Homo-oligomer: A and B are copies of this chain.
Amino acid sequence: MQAKELRGQSVAENIAEEVKKHVAEMKQKGLQPTLSMIRVGDRIEDMAYERSAQRRMELCGICAQSEVLKSDVTTEQLIRVIKQNNEAKNVNGILLFQPLPAHIDMEAVKEAIDPVKDVDCNNPLSSARMYLDDEEALIPATPGAVMEILKHYDIALEGTNVAVLGRSMIVGKPLAMMLLNQNATVTMCHSKTKNLAKICQEADVIVSCIGKPKFITEEYVTPESVVIDVGINLDKNNKLCGDVDYARVAPVVRAITPVPGGVGSVTTSVLAQNLLKAFHMQNR
């Protein structure tokens, strides 16, 4: 039985279409939703994500501006730039590429981002709002993308068992909370979990965000499994791959997201959604 491939592209396009419609209305009122991207140095990964975010924002009618700082920028200088963006009336969201160089005080920098403009959910207060199920919470893009994929492909969550593999503050924990809010029964698994294969087999949906290339094999799944692969890793041949061994798992499950072309391709649309939400919170 061939699994249904849950591709991200149509999910991303649907979200973008919706955002675009709302942005067009704002523009008619003379308003221009704007994202400010801050990049430190010239990391290839940052530049690739910057281009991809830029393209998505443009498609949605959102203005995306880039500020590039030298990689020897100090924490104080970086915070000053963030604060300028906090105060700028024409900036609705701030996207700071990460990881930052080792000499930067990450925590201080994250806390400097005004929660009302924190479209990438970096400030701990933003995570906290999500945990508290605050309607003003801006959700982190990656778990947001997972939820959008599940919704788009009509994968029911209420009363189902979902195994979340990985407990990071940026993906695993917020995702568990979001799934719980949708009435799923959530099992939070991690590196200390015993019998992981058994827990995964008993789950209706498996979401892996552990960052281990091709870790999930056919022993972890059943023909009924829905597998969402959040991992973005390099395999032995330096080829992009997920946490799931796609070639072995895809043929034997109900549905699966590919890597690339799955969760990762939806994140910039969730970012655009967040930007629009931030814009509305700032303009009411």
Selected A-B contacts with CB under 8 Å, 18 pairs: A124-B132, A125-B128, A127-B131, A127-B132, A128-B131, A131-B173, A158-B192, A159-B193, A159-B194, A161-B195, A161-B199, A167-B180, A173-B177, A183-B192, A185-B190, A185-B199, A186-B188, A187-B187
Residues of A within 8 A of B (CB): 124-125, 127-129, 131-132, 134, 158-161, 167, 169, 173, 176-177, 180, 183, 185-190, 192-195, 199
What chain B residues lie within 8 Å of A131 (beta carbons)? 127-128, 131, 173
Please name the residue on chain B nearest to A185 by beta carbon.
Answer: B193
**A189 contacts B193, C-beta separation under 8 Å:** no
Given the known A-B contacts A125-B128, A132-B169, are A183 and B188 also in contact in the complex, defined by CB atoms under 8 Å? Answer: no
Q: How many of these chains are in the complex?
A: 2
What chain B residues lie within 8 Å of A169 (beta carbons)? 132
Task: Identify which of B129, B177, B192 contacts A159 (C-beta below 8 A).
Answer: B192
Give 7 closest A-B pairs by Cβ, nearest first.
A128-B128, A183-B192, A187-B187, A185-B193, A131-B131, A159-B192, A159-B194
